[in-house]
Amino acid sequence: MRLMGFGLLKPKNTILGSDIAGRVEAVGRNVTQFQPGDEVFGNTAKYGFGGFAEYVSVPENAVVLKPTTISFEEAAAVPQAAVVALQGLRDKGQIQKGQKVLINGASGGIGIFAVQIAKSSGAEVTAVCSTRNLDIVRSIGADHVIDYTQEDFTRNGQQYDLILAANGYHSISDYKRALSPTGTYVTTGGSDAQMFQTMLLGPFISRTGRQKMGNSAHKPNQKDLVLLKELIETGKVTPVIDRRFPLRDVADAIRYLEAGHAQGKVVITVEQNNNTSL
């Protein structure tokens, strides 16, 4: 993330809080898409962050109407993680119906969405997680599960058409071995070494062979949020919330997330007014 421009020695942006969900309080006179009272969700990352708050002011393009079938808390769990998963699988991964797709880090914020989006694309999905998360990834639709504490998916002889590395670490040569001869490997996260190797070697491997390997960084946009709203309203994607923290405990929430073992998403709730979550 440092090399992607987030600040080499320290974060460029010190304001936190990307995803939001809530009710529109007021609109500027040039706003055409929303009116006060609309229920929306979105991503403030392109507009300076600031989502850890009771009120946030954003351009209208940062939000879309919230799915009608889920709560504000659930909606606040969606934007960045689900868009990362969607763009990694669809844009970089070119996911196709019937493909064998593996998600590494399937139980985290991004992985939980990746499993469901891959399933809704008609793929046969293998989810890699630890023992305590096997049930949750099965419950969201994974066809096969691999417990990484028991088995190394890069050494079991199986090959996949598409691998999305949402978390964890394997060397790029491990991933290469687990890919079919024309397979695609996409890194959206995980250890620095995992991201760095893909950034450095991915373009070379992609140019010299039939396998494709590369990183995917998320690009927030309204179109993808609308697509996710539809996937949620049709029951194809369901947010999973691990823990909720009140706004005053944001620091605890960040500490919990930093430990790296969240099961799905962590949400900050605004207690003062139950209509708003972020």
Tell me which of 34, 47, 148, 196 binds ligand NAP, using CB under 6 A. 148
Q: Please pick, from the candidates 50, 67, 79, 105, the single residue that binds ligand NAP as defined by CB under 6 A.
A: 105
Measured from the CB of residue 27, what is the shortest distance to ligand NAP in angstroms? 29
The contact pattern for ligand NAP, residues 170-209, with x = CB under 6 A and - = no contact, is ------------------xxx-------------------
Among the listed ranges 25-33, 211-219, 220-228, 229-237, the one in contact with ligand NAP (CB under 6 A) is 211-219
Q: Are 197 and 215 in contact (CB under 8 A)?
A: no
Nearest to 103 by CA among 19, 150, 170, 157: 170
Q: Which two tokens stand for residue 199?
A: 């950034």
Sole residue written with tokens 């002011």: 57
Could you say which of 70, 102, 115, 128 contacts ligand NAP (CB under 6 A)?
128
Number of neighbours of residue 255 by Cβ within 10 angstroms = 11
Whole-number minimum distance, CB 132 to ligand NAP, in Å?
6
Chosen residue from 44, 116, 126, 133 binding ligand NAP by CB under 6 A:
133
**DSSP 3-state of 72:** helix
Q: How far is the CB of 108 from ligand NAP (least distance, A)?
A: 2
d(CA 164, CA 85) in angstroms, rounded, equals: 8
Angle at 129 between CA 177 and CA 197, to 5 degrees: 40
| Helices 109-120 and 79-87: angle between axes, nearest 10 degrees | 50
Q: How far is the CB of 240 from ligand NAP (least distance, A)?
A: 10
Tell me the window of 22-30, 58-66, 212-220, 269-277 that interacts with ligand NAP (CB under 6 A). 212-220
Stretch (H or E) spanning 78: none
SS3 content of the chain, % helix, strand, coil (to 5): 35, 20, 40
Nearest residue (CB) to ligand NAP, 152 versus 233: 152
The C-alpha atoms of residue 159 and residue 156 are separated, in whole angstroms, by 9
Q: How far apart are CA 22 and CA 62, in angstroms?
A: 13
Please select the residue that binds ligand NAP; options are 67, 79, 168, 239, rule is CB under 6 A.
Answer: 168
Site for ligand NAP contains 217 (CB under 6 A): yes
By beta-carbon proximity to ligand NAP, the closer residue of 149 and 208 is 149
Binding residues (CB under 6 A) for ligand NAP: these are 80-81, 84, 104-105, 107-111, 128-130, 132-133, 148, 166-168, 188-190, 216-218, 257, 260-263
